[in-house]
Amino acid sequence: MKYDKLIRDLIPARMDSKGVKYKLHAATDSEYLVKLREKLQEEVAEYLKDLNTEELADIMEVVRALGQAHGTSPEELEAIRQRKSKERGTFAKRLILEESED
C-alpha cells in the first residue's frame, strides 16, 4: 500500500516488531513543511469525524512540530497564545457574531 505521508518517529520500530516491510525516507526541509500541513489537515478531519480528545492531542503534536519547523518553541507558541488571549479574549463566553457593520 502506498502512503506518502508523514509518520511519527516510533512507527518504524512498531512495524519492525510486527515484521512489516516498508520503505521510507527523511523529508527535506521544504517537503517536511508540506507534509506537516497535510498531516494537520488529516488530523483535523479525523477530529471532526470522531470528536475525540485523542485526535485533539494529535493536532497539538502537529502544531508543536509546525512551530518548531518555523523556529518557534512550544513555550513561545504558548506565550503568543497567552498574549492573544489577553488582547482578544478566549472562547469561554461562547459568543456568536451574527452581524456587523463593516
Low-confidence ranges of the chain (pLDDT < 70): none
Domain ranges of the chain: 28-87
Query: Could you read off the pLDDT of 69-97 as tens digits, one per residue?
Result: 999 999 999 999 999 999 999 999 999 99
Q: Rg for the chain (alpha carbons), in Å?
A: 18
Global pTM?
0.86
Query: Sign of the C-alpha dihedral, residues 98, 56, 93, 80?
Result: negative
Residue 71: burial class (beta carbons within 10 Å; 0-12, 13-18, 19+) = exposed
The mean pLDDT value of the chain amounts to: 96
What pLDDT sits at residue 102?
Answer: 83
User: 59: closest CA among 74, 46, 68, 78?
Assistant: 46
